[in-house]
Amino acid sequence: MEAAIQAQGATSARQLLRHTLATLAYRTAKAVRGTPESFAIFSAGANARTPAQIVAHLGDLMDWALAIAKGAPTWRNSTPLPWTEEVERFFRALRAFDDYLASDQPLACSMDKLFQGPVADALTHTGQINILRRMSGSPVKGENYFRAEIVTGCVGQEQTAPKLES
C-alpha cells in the first residue's frame, strides 16, 4: 500500500513540475511576444545581461534540466542567436524537457532539485525580461495569472489569449 501511495505522490509531483513548465512557457511567451526589434540588445547597464543573453540562458537552463533528468548533467553557456531563433531554441529545449517528464523514463534526480535549480531560475529570468521590457519602454500588460488558461503539456510559444489583463 505504501509503495502505491509513494508512486501516486511521484506521479503528482511529476505532473506539478510539468504544470510549472507550462506556466513558464505561458509567462515567457507573453514576455517575448511583440518585442520591438531593438529589444534583444537593450542594456540596463554595463554588467547586465541583454534580453538575448537572458533568453539564451533560459535555453541553456532547459538543456541542463533535461541532462540532469537523464543523469548526465552538463552545462554550456550559449552565445545568443538572433532574437527569433533564440526564442525558438528556448521553446524547443522546454518542449524536450517536458516530453521527457511526460514519458515513463526514470529521473536521475529528485523533482525537487529540478524545480529548485533550473526551473526556478528560469522563472526568475522570465521576470527579468518583463522588467527589461518596462525599462526599454515596451511594457508587458499585467495579468491575473490565477485566471490564465495554463495547460500541462502546452509548452510552446503559442499560448491561449490572456483572460484578464490590466
- Across the range 68-87, mean pLDDT stands at 95
With bands split at pLDDT 50, 70 and 90, how would you rate the model's confidence at 5?
very low
Which CATH fold topology does 2-135 show?
Four Helix Bundle (Hemerythrin (Met), subunit A) (1.20.120)
**How much is the pLDDT for 1?**
47
Query: Which residue shows C-alpha cell 484578464?
Result: 164
Residue count of the chain: 166
How many alpha carbons lie under 13 Å from residue 124 in its C-beta half-sphere? 9
**How much is the pLDDT for 39?**
96
**How much is the pLDDT for 150?**
95
Q: Quickly list DSSP for 55-86.
A: HHHHHHHHHHHHHHHHT------PPPPPHHHH
Inform me whether the pLDDT recorded for 96 exceeds 50. Answer: yes
Greatest Cα-to-Cα distance within the chain, rounded to the nearest angstrom: 58
- Across the range 139-163, mean pLDDT stands at 92
Cβ–Cβ under 8 Å, residues 55 and 157: no
Sign of torsion over alpha carbons 22, 60, 56, 128: positive
Inform me whether the pLDDT recorded for 2 exceeds 70. Answer: no
Cβ–Cβ under 8 Å, residues 122 and 146: no
Rounded distance between C-alpha atoms, residue 85 and residue 33, angstroms: 13
- Across the range 35-64, mean pLDDT stands at 95
Average pLDDT, the chain: 92
Query: Which residue shows C-alpha cell 532539485?
Result: 113
The helix (H) or strand (E) run that includes residue 111 is helix 111-114
Inform me whether the pLDDT recorded for 124 exceeds 90. Answer: yes
Helix, strand, coil percentages for the chain (3-state, nearest 5)? 60, 0, 40
Cβ–Cβ under 8 Å, residues 162 and 29: no
**How much is the pLDDT for 79?**
95
